[in-house]
Structure 1
Amino acid sequence: MSGERMRLTAADGFEFDGYVARPAGTPRAGVVILPEIFGVNSHIRSVADRYAGWGYLAIAPSVFDRVEPGLDLGYGDDDVRKGQALMKLIDWNDAVKDIEAAGAFAAQAGKVGIVGFCWGGTAAWVTAGRGTGFACAVSYYGNAIPTVIEPTPRIPMMLHWGERDHLVSKEKMMEPGRAAPEVAVHFYATGHGFNCDQRDLYHAESAALAQQRTLNFLGEHLA
């Protein structure tokens, strides 16, 4: 299964790209896939394709287009440095506008959830607290969430953490759950980036368990 590129328009008129993966039949719901600092690269496109395979209308918005159109990085040291520099240039209010535009597109399938990874995991938390139009959100290793805890999510949310994440301490990982006790929090005996099967950080067992929990969560809140 493969998707297609399309153009989206945010509420402020900004136009940007999105990668859309459509299910074979009638979609069960919509899901917005939010990328890491590497943009909508081959891994994120493959994640969207998988969700389409599970029956969702999946869209991965190019939320870095405001600062670097068409961002599509690999995982080398230079890529990491570039992604880290670019993420500091993104305004959260602009990011939420772009994520909402992707959500509005996905809403043709019914209810819409968010699944975000790393930077996208933090963006999922921010959008859950500030955005509109979403029924639930899932964050994978959103290591910057402790810096943007307020406002807390207004929709059901699930957090996945690798307890040995080198980018954030276990104590910091606990803070979102304390601030929003209704949020479902799961820890895995691994580190950062454990869902990405294109990196040495990949941990298959943790990725499979987190995936099943995520699908159950989406099934519950997007039905």
Structure 2
Amino acid sequence: MSLNATIPTLEADASFGAYVARPEGTPRAAIIVIQEIFGVNPGIRQKCDKLAAEGYLAVAPDLFWRLEPGVETDPDVEAEFQRAIGMMGQFDQDAGIRDIEATIHHIRRTLGVSKVGCVGYCLGGRLAFMAAARTDIDASVGYYGVGIDGLLGEKHAIAHPVMLHIPTNDGFVPRETQAAMHAGLDDHPKVTLHDYEGLDHGFATETGQRRDEAAATLADSHTAAFFAEHLG
């Protein structure tokens, strides 16, 4: 099953798909899983299923719906990887944040879960940081977010806890960018950074060639403890 729910936009003039994984019983909280450039693909759906098994309501909105609803690509297939890169270039990130905000509202008002966090990967890691600065989300985690150094001017708006996972050999986030992130965020009372020495972009993906099992397990344990503390 790919997309199994719909969410209205903030303007309520359209709706977009989402994958929702529900826990047994009452959710302890909700977590929005923010896609990579590869859409709500099997790896993102697996992230949701794992969170549901931990007691969370997990929701992965289809943020590329304005470009192509329901698109999902495989990063290990070169042609699909290049297609995803092209879609990222066309993607309106500000509209994506509004869709994340609409997802927050939907979870709180329609699904009845008041505490909402988010976890994002790649492009989603960047969007998780933006959501922390631009919405009232309760806790945000970003894995290998791209271009966060260019968003540091928004850090004053971060009111709720943020955790960022940074692989030091990230081919999309050079050392200079990592240094700027540390310089800008290490003293922020709401932000925690974790470095993963020698790891590359995508190390925590659920499927495919990029995954590093030990590092993914470590990072995910930090994330689990973070959400347990800040979402309950």
Residue of structure 1 aligned with 2:153, choices 150, 161, 170: 150
State the alpha-carbon separation in 1 of the partners of residues 148 and 208 from structure 2.
23
Residue of structure 2 aligned with 1:110, choices 110, 114, 131: 114
* Shift in Å, 1:145: 1.6
Aligned residues: 221
State the alpha-carbon separation in 2 of the partners of residues 8 and 188 from structure 1.
35
Do the aligned residues in 1 keep the contact of 2:2 with 2:40 (CA within 8 Å)? no
State the alpha-carbon separation in 2 of the partners of residues 209 and 92 from structure 1.
29
Moved more, 188-197 or 103-112: 103-112
Could you report, residue by residue, the CA deviation over 1:5-56 in whole angstroms, capped at 9, with x for unpaired residues? 1111111233110100000111000000001000000000000000000000
- 1:99 paired to 2:104: no
- 1:6 paired to 2:5: yes
Secondary structure of 1:184 counterpart: strand
Residue of structure 1 aligned with 2:215, choices 206, 210, 221: 206
Could you report, residue by residue, the CA deviation over 1:43-70 in whole angstroms, capped at 9, with x for unpaired residues? 0000000000000000000011011211
User: Which stretches in structure 1 are left out of the alignment for 5+ residues?
Assistant: none
After the TM superposition, which residues 120-139 of structure 1 pair with which residues of structure 2 at under 5 Å, given as runs?
120-132=124-136, 134-139=137-142
State the alpha-carbon separation in 2 of the partners of residues 146 and 50 from structure 1.
30
Do the aligned residues in 2 keep the contact of 1:32 with 1:115 (CA within 8 Å)? yes
Partner of 2:43: 43
Secondary structure of 1:88 counterpart: helix
Residue of structure 1 aligned with 2:179, choices 174, 196, 208: 174
- 1:219 paired to 2:228: yes
State the alpha-carbon separation in 1 of the partners of residues 63 and 208 from structure 2.
22
Provide the aligned C-alpha RMSD in A: 1.5
Percent identity over the alignment? 34
State the alpha-carbon separation in 1 of the partners of residues 107 and 182 from structure 2.
28
Specify the code of the residue in structure 2 equivalent to 1:124. A
- Seen in structure 2, the aligned counterparts of structure 1 residues 118 and 185 have a Cα distance that, compared at 3 Å, is same
Moved more, 56-65 or 84-93: 84-93
Do the aligned residues in 2 keep the contact of 1:18 with 1:102 (CA within 8 Å)? no
State the alpha-carbon separation in 2 of the partners of residues 3 and 37 from structure 1.
16
User: Which stretches in structure 2 are left out of the alignment for 5+ residues?
Assistant: none
- TM-score for the superposition, normalised by structure 1: 0.94
